[in-house]
Amino acid sequence: MSHEPVDVLIIGAGASGAAIAWSLLETRMRILCLEQGGHLPDRDFPSRREDYELARYAEFSCDPNVRRQPQDYPINSNDSCITPVNWNGVGGSTINFLGHWPRMRPSDFRTRTLDGVGEDWPLDYHTLAPFYDMNDANTGVSGLAGNPAYPEYKPPLPPIPIGKLGQTLAQGFNKLGWHWWPSDVAILSEDRDGRQKCVNAGTCDLGCAAGAKGGTNFTYWPILENAGVELRTRSRVREILVDQRTGLASGVLYHGADGQLHEQKAEMVVVACNGIGTPRLLLNSRSGLFPEGLANRSGMVGKNLMFHPLIGVTGVFDEPMLGHEGPMACSILSQEFYESDPSRGFVRGYGLHSGRSTTPMTYALGGYGIDDPIPWGAAHREIMDEIYPYLAGLTIVSEDLPEEENCVTLDPELTDSDGIPAPKITYRLGENTRRMLEHGEARASEVLRAAGARRILSKGDGKVWWRAGWHQMGTCRMGNDPERSVVNSWGRSHDVKNLFIVDGSIFVTAGAVNPTSTIQALALYVGDRIKTNIANLFD
Amino acid sequence: MQSDIELLTAILDQLIPANPDRAIPGAGQLGLASGLIEATEPTLASAIRALLSEVRAQPGEVSPRLVSRLEKDRPEDFRQLLSAVYMAYYSRPDMREKLGVGAHPVHPKGYPVDREPPELMKRLTAPVRARGPIYRDPTGGAA
């Protein structure tokens, strides 16, 4: 292994790191990606085992604090009502994400102008649209064109089946005259590029052994490695180094697979470690020039952490809904309550996502992302025999607003296995979000009844799902004002001219949709701007 | 005196009772107790020891009432056991199948789900399309 300087050093082989590497391929620059995890071998996909559900509570948990694999870092979320979830390895969290692929909407980029909250993005939907299209083609996105919730675009593949459950719910939405549409998904409805179409296994969170789900381990990385991008796995970056004379990033220190600390020099550093890992790395990269953490002269690194707080409402129907068959989070999506309406008592909005139901063990233990086992005894028997097969549910996915108090800092004591300080999450639910979730809970119940549910199961306790921290955004946000943002309108640090950030941390607002399609579109956009500005990139 | 396995078997049958009408066995009948007794995970092993000791100190047979008391008096230990029982029981392919879920590993076979015919999707989405655009587009013109 050579430690010769490289042109581009990307930290993180997940959604955004892979996308920007692909964008920069044509420059013929020497690209190296350091990834703290490894490749996931085919034999390790739990869905090939008969007891596949057990993995969800052990080595394949979405929660790194449960998983505790050598490549994971612990996260202190004691001061949060939501704990972050992720995957560390080639593909990043696209390994265990659920593949739901809605785009952000035009209004999401102008929340300050339209609704007086958050901040406007320094770019807009139409600037990103070509990069959404490009990424959809690279990923193999399935969906139905003509969704009236968006400006016109056409997913490259036909939609996946919405199933009996989706058809039933769609009729409920139609009765009420509310919007719904088959979900856009990063899941193949047809064989494509050597990848097998979805077999409706229903366990997307356990990795997709078929390669139908658009994890970058199946989409971008095979192309990138064939094209000569060096992917150095089991390599955990400790800090980004800065030339104290020029103020430019000079490379990184990282713990390699050999257990040794190495220095890797680079002309340009791209951080792609997600909304928790990226601020953690920058805050751990302190120097004389940046005593409060790299690229943090604004003091905004780690601030404005946004999730998508979730609650679920479930209906019990007369016929089996077969909810375990098909992609687990993706059937139909309603955006009826997405845009602001002052009469509702909150600003911005939410989506009603029809996930499918889950497998028996997960249901008995409280559901995906929840640790709250169902009752034992006679009630248990009744629930599993008379309710479980007949379930169809809706998840209320709310837009979180940026608040500086919600943040990522460094834990003073907790570290990973290399002794690197771990992140600490401080997060509380905003009042606007609470009202939104209450509204959504009532609307979800209404539409489930309209669809024919004979009984509604809703906890109504105001508690959001604990393991709902899939979407980590806002902690190194973009902006034109260096006092109020960390990176500029194309992902370059205001403070360090050869340092770029491309993951969800650069989001300015969260929208109320799953973020990965936007994360990758942004990464492709940043790559495009780097290529356009290559002659005077660091000026 | 009942052995640990016999006692735990009786508790497990209270936690997940049988449904004889559908030939679904209880968790005790399924023989899960021996595996749980041999659990090496320290928290679970300690929880089971504590619960069995508590049951032995009570008069009478294992009943729903006694198990409710365990849940009340030793909530953390009880929760450990309950989660472990649910995992052991529902990780069994044969139990999954009794609830209508495939016994097979979900890859490579998965489940056959037909894609809806285009005419069905067209009919279902017709009212949504008929209402027209519902987004605000501040930079690209109002929809």
For residues B21-45, average pLDDT: 94
* Residues present in chain A in total: 539
CB distance B137–A160 less than 8 Å? Answer: no
CA dihedral A329, A335, A337, A340 (to 10 degrees): 120
Report the distance separating Cα B32 and Cα B35, nearest Å.
6
CA dihedral A217, A218, A223, A228 (to 10 degrees): 30
Percent above pLDDT 70 for chain A: 100
Cβ–Cβ < 8 Å for A118, A401: yes
What does the pLDDT read at residue B140? 66
Evaluate whether A1-39+62-140+214-307+404-429+471-539 and A156-204+310-399+432-463 have a shared fold.
Answer: no
Report the distance separating Cα A70 and Cα A535, nearest Å.
41
Could you tell me if B23 lies within 8 Å of chain A, comparing CB atoms?
no
CB distance B139–A125 less than 8 Å? Answer: yes
> Which is higher by pLDDT, A480 or A367?
A480
- Smallest CA–CA separation between A360 and chain B, in Å? 6
CB distance A360–B108 less than 8 Å? Answer: no
Query: Which stretches does DSSP call E strand in A106-195?
Result: 181-182
For residues A357-386, average pLDDT: 92
How open is the CA angle A123-A128-A131, to the nearest 5 degrees? 150
- Listed by start position, the domains of chain A span 1-39+62-140+214-307+404-429+471-539, 156-204+310-399+432-463
Q: Please, which residues bridge with residue A232 across strands?
A: A34
Mean pLDDT, rounded, of chain A = 96
- Smallest CA–CA separation between A43 and chain B, in Å? 11
Q: Residue A278: how many CB atoms within 10 A of its CB? A: 30
Report the distance separating Cα A35 and Cα A233, nearest Å.
5
User: Which chain B residues have a beta carbon less than 8 Å from that of A159?
Assistant: 115-116, 121
What does the pLDDT read at residue A442? 96
| Interface probe, candidates A361, A370, A374, A489, chain B, greatest B C-beta count within 10 A | A361
- What is the secondary structure of A309-349 as a DSSP string? -EEEEEEE-SS---TTSS-TT-SEEE-TT-S--GGGSSSS-
User: Which chain A residues have a beta carbon less than 8 Å from that of B22?
Assistant: 385
Q: What digits encode the pLDDT tens for the residues A181-210?
A: 999 999 999 999 999 999 999 999 999 998
Domain A156-204+310-399+432-463 class, CATH top level: alpha beta
Burial class (CB in 10 A: 0-12, 13-18, 19+), B117: exposed
- The number of angstroms, rounded, from the C-alpha of A371 to the middle of its chain's C-alpha atoms is 21
Report the distance separating Cα A182 and Cα A353, nearest Å.
10
CB distance A199–B110 less than 8 Å? Answer: yes
What does the pLDDT read at residue B142? 42
User: Look-up: residue for tokens 């309550």?
Assistant: A337
Could you tell me if B95 lies within 8 Å of chain A, comparing CB atoms?
yes
Could you tell me if B57 lies within 8 Å of chain A, comparing CB atoms?
no
Q: A145 CB contacts (<8 Å, ≥6 apart)?
A: A152, A153, A154, A155
CB distance A53–B90 less than 8 Å? Answer: yes
For residues B106-116, average pLDDT: 93
Report the distance separating Cα A134 and Cα A142, nearest Å.
14
- Which structure tokens are listed for A495? 């403070």
Query: Which stretches does DSSP call E strand in A220-362?
Result: 230-232, 236-242, 249-255, 261-271, 310-316, 332-334, 350-354
Report the distance separating Cα B110 and Cα B102, nearest Å.
9
Q: Is the ipTM of this complex over 0.85?
A: yes
Give phi and psi for A269, each to the nearest 5.
-120, 130
Strands A261-271 and A249-255: antiparallel
CB distance B91–A53 less than 8 Å? Answer: yes
Mean pLDDT, rounded, of chain B = 94
CB distance B95–A170 less than 8 Å? Answer: no
Q: What digits encode the pLDDT tens for the residues A439-482?
A: 999 999 999 999 999 999 987 777 899 999 999 999 999 999 99
What does the pLDDT read at residue A2? 76
Give phi and psi for B23, each to the nearest 5.
55, 40
What does the pLDDT read at residue B143? 41
* Residue closest to B136 by CA, chosen among A120, A515, A108: A108
Q: What is the DSSP letter of A383?
A: I
- Smallest CA–CA separation between B66 and chain A, in Å? 12
Q: What is the DSSP letter of A358?
A: -
- Which structure tokens are listed for A195? 């990848």
A356 band by pLDDT with thresholds 50, 70 and 90: confident
Q: Superfamily for A1-39+62-140+214-307+404-429+471-539? A: FAD/NAD(P)-binding domain (3.50.50.60)
CB distance A360–B17 less than 8 Å? Answer: no
CB distance A124–B127 less than 8 Å? Answer: no
User: Which chain B residues have a beta carbon less than 8 Å from that of A381?
Assistant: 16-19
Could you tell me if B42 lies within 8 Å of chain A, comparing CB atoms?
no
CB distance A174–B124 less than 8 Å? Answer: yes
What does the pLDDT read at residue A420? 98
* Residue closest to A507 by CA, chosen among A470, A476, A463, A469: A476
Q: pTM score, two decimals?
A: 0.96
User: Which chain B residues have a beta carbon less than 8 Å from that of A335?
Assistant: 134
Percent above pLDDT 90 for chain A: 94
What does the pLDDT read at residue B139? 81
Q: What digits encode the pLDDT tens for the residues B71-100?
A: 999 999 999 999 999 999 999 999 999 999
User: Look-up: residue for tokens 């003073």?
Assistant: A412
Q: What digits encode the pLDDT tens for the residues B1-32?
A: 789 999 999 999 999 999 999 999 999 999 99
- Smallest CA–CA separation between A470 and chain B, in Å? 24
